[in-house]
Chains A and B, each alone.
Chain A
Amino acid sequence: MTINVISAGIATTIQDLGRPGYYHLGIPMGGAMDRLALKTANLLVGNDEGAAGLESVFVGPELEFTQDVTVAVCGAELPPKVDGEARDTWTAFTVKAGQVLSFDFLKSGARIYIAISGGITTPMHLGSRSTYAIGALGGVNGRPVQPGDSLPLGKSSKTVKDGLSVPKALRRGPSSPAEIRVLPGLYWHRITEQAQKNFFEDTWKVANEADRMGYRFQGGRKLEFVEREQPFSAGADPSNITDACYPYGSIQVPSGSEPIVLHRDAVSGGGYFMLGAVISADMDLIGQLQPNTPVRFVKVDMEAALAARKEQATIMDEIREVLS
């Protein structure tokens, strides 16, 4: 009842839907960067949507199974192979005891989610198996997956059809340039009107510094700040504030030059101003952006943010229906 890790791929971690409720202590909710992809992969193999699977970035792991299982890979287009034979993404397939799951080269997107029937059953920490390496919580003894690890599997409760698949129309991936919708707010008033316009006009690129904590963007014009005397304890740079909480998705711009969008493993607070936050419906998308992808930030209001959230929920409902 285990998976043997032969090679780990890149940044392969155990992830479920995370551990909300501890952000006030600096422990982020964590969980899959692309939640829709993890939930869908789980549904394909007959698991609960929130079962723990594997998240890999750009390069997949090599895994050997000690029992017959159903597997599904969703998210990025990183084609899976069973004993070297190609399988489809977004589609359930069988892997027999002794067979090896590996991956071909990345075609699009950045992160895959591997769900296995029964789900990974490493110990929970604060209600979740998600790996939060900085705090040594979840995962395999608080760390990402390594070669030689043996991951325990739960009992599969549901039999699924081999070849069950999500229709193409319900698979969502980033366009190019990618469009990320932003609700201005937080410290938006701290930058000049011209800087507010520039931010949404410019085309940005995903920087190499892009991980579970946050995504950095480069290439747009430097932001100018409204002049003021800095408040006591904020720090001298106009991009500094008295250390405060950081919302998930919030966009901070240290020194006004390179925006950073905080993601699932966000630091919970700090001393940089934020110009607004990415809407909840577009958070999954960010985790699928490769470095150098051109990105446009699109200004929306609360009404549009809620409509997008509803739309996202509808897609998930449709996936549930198709796979039920």
Chain B
Amino acid sequence: MSSRYTFGGDEHVFVEVDEEMSLEAFFVSLSMTNAVRKANIKGVTEICPANASFQIKFDPDVIHPDDMMKELKRLEAEAEQGDNVLETRIIEVPVYYQDPWTHDTLMRFRERHQDPSGTDIEYAASINGYDSVEKFIEAHSGAPWFVSMVGFVSGLPFLYQMVDRSRQIQVPKYLSPRTDTPRQTVGYGGSFSCIYSVRGAGGYQMFGITPMPIFDPEQNVPYLKDFMVFFKPGDIVRFKPINREEYDAAIAQVQAGEFMPRMRNVRFSLSEFNADMDGTNAKLMEALYDH
């Protein structure tokens, strides 16, 4: 893996760790951005990790762009020696797959879809070789996900599934983006799941919806009291399929200010994961459901 450094105008350095997505590339991006934060380089104004790349915004009146670039390259050597171990948390996100609201929305935008005769999830199941939507949901919810980037709009997490590449789901984005997506839609594009944090435009395929708010500018949601955005890169997510009754019950809890997602602190090691993915995932599930 050899990172590509480039400028984005006179205020950004953009570093592409790898052209393709992998947890290895994600960990380099994460440890590099952590190293930049620690280094406290004068003039740095924004540090943005992404899936397999990252971006630093800086003030060129404070530090010359060439010097900024040099500083980052110097830090790369340090970051690569990182042991890729993460103290993080695992969170259970309930998902009502094939819900009526995303269904209504996807029907309104059928002419922008690859397969206007079916639904998004039927299309995704079929092109990934699953013979039923149920089997596809099993695969989507059967193994956990890494939050590999937060962004696009306020607090939207991109998630990358923790399985080997042969088992990874891939779907194209809509032929042309929708102008509407329900809030808290669980979407999919390329090899990424996402949760739309707010209502708005979107190009990812829509599979379902979660009752769990993940962005609250008013900060009334109890687990968003400290900050209005829930997810951060490195979080691990498990999607739990729920039905209409469970969805309604969760919504009632949210409205009463009583909904709390199930979550636990966990330690994740990339090398342990690579040595035994299913075993590592099973341990993560144990941690999530202990007592």
B60 partner, pick from A247, A267, A306, beta carbons under 8 A: A306
Given A125-B217, A242-B53: A27 touches B10 (CB 8 Å cut-off): no
**B interface residues, how many (CB within 8 angstroms):** 55
Size band of the interface chain A makes with B: 35 or more
A268 close to B152 (CB less than 8 A)? yes
Bound complex: CA of A231 vs CA of B57, how far in Å?
26
A235 partner, pick from B52, B57, B173, beta carbons under 8 A: B173
Selecting from A3-11, A37-45, A77-85, A272-280, the interface stretch reads A272-280
Tell me which of A27, A250, A313 has the highest count of chain B C-beta atoms within 10 A of its own C-beta.
Answer: A27
Q: Which residue of A lies closest to B33 (CB)?
A: A24
B10 close to A236 (CB less than 8 A)? no
Bound complex: CA of A309 vs CA of B189, how far in Å?
38
Residues of A within 8 A of B184 (CB): none
Give the distance to chain B from A295, nearest Cβ to Cβ, in Å.
Answer: 17
Residues of A within 8 A of B47 (CB): 24
Given A244-B53, A247-B8: A271 touches B155 (CB 8 Å cut-off): no
Bound complex: CA of A162 vs CA of B241, how far in Å?
66
| Main secondary structure on A side of the interface with B | mixed
What is the 8 Å Cβ interface bit string for chain A, positions 261-288, against chain B (1 contact, 0 not)? 0000001111100101111100000000
A233 close to B21 (CB less than 8 A)? yes
Does A147 interact with chain B (Cβ within 8 Å)?
no
Which residues of A (228-248) have their CB < 8 Å from a CB of B? 231-236, 240-245, 247-248
Does B153 interact with chain A (Cβ within 8 Å)?
yes
Show 27 residue pairs from A and B whose CB-CB distance is below 8 angstroms, ordered by the A residue: A20-B57, A21-B45, A23-B46, A24-B151, A25-B151, A26-B151, A26-B152, A134-B154, A137-B154, A185-B6, A186-B7, A231-B19, A233-B51, A235-B172, A235-B189, A242-B18, A242-B52, A244-B53, A247-B12, A247-B55, A247-B57, A269-B48, A277-B8, A277-B12, A280-B10, A302-B10, A309-B10
Does A322 interact with chain B (Cβ within 8 Å)?
no
Tell me which of B151, B152, B197 has the highest count of chain A C-beta atoms within 10 A of its own C-beta.
Answer: B151
Does A54 interact with chain B (Cβ within 8 Å)?
no
Given A25-B150, A232-B165: A135 touches B9 (CB 8 Å cut-off): no
Give the distance to chain A from B27, nearest Cβ to Cβ, in Å.
Answer: 15
B57 close to A244 (CB less than 8 A)? no
Given A232-B20, A309-B60: A270 touches B215 (CB 8 Å cut-off): no
Bound complex: CA of A228 vs CA of B19, how far in Å?
12
Give the distance to chain A from B102, nearest Cβ to Cβ, in Å.
Answer: 19
Q: Which residue of B lies closest to A270 (CB)?
A: B152
Give the distance to chain B from A48, nearest Cβ to Cβ, in Å.
Answer: 19
Give the distance to chain B from A160, nearest Cβ to Cβ, in Å.
Answer: 29
**4 more CB-based (< 8 A) A-B contacts, given A24-B48, A268-B153:** A135-B153, A186-B8, A232-B22, A245-B55
Given A277-B12, A302-B65, A309-B60: A242 touches B153 (CB 8 Å cut-off): no
Residues of A within 8 A of B53 (CB): 242, 244-245
B190 close to A183 (CB less than 8 A)? no
Does A226 interact with chain B (Cβ within 8 Å)?
no
Tell me which of B9, B55, B189 has the highest count of chain A C-beta atoms within 10 A of its own C-beta.
Answer: B9
Which 9 A-B pairs give the minimum distances between C-beta atoms?
A247-B8, A277-B9, A231-B20, A245-B55, A233-B21, A268-B151, A233-B191, A135-B154, A247-B12
Given A24-B49, A235-B190, A269-B149: A242 touches B200 (CB 8 Å cut-off): no
Does A142 interact with chain B (Cβ within 8 Å)?
yes
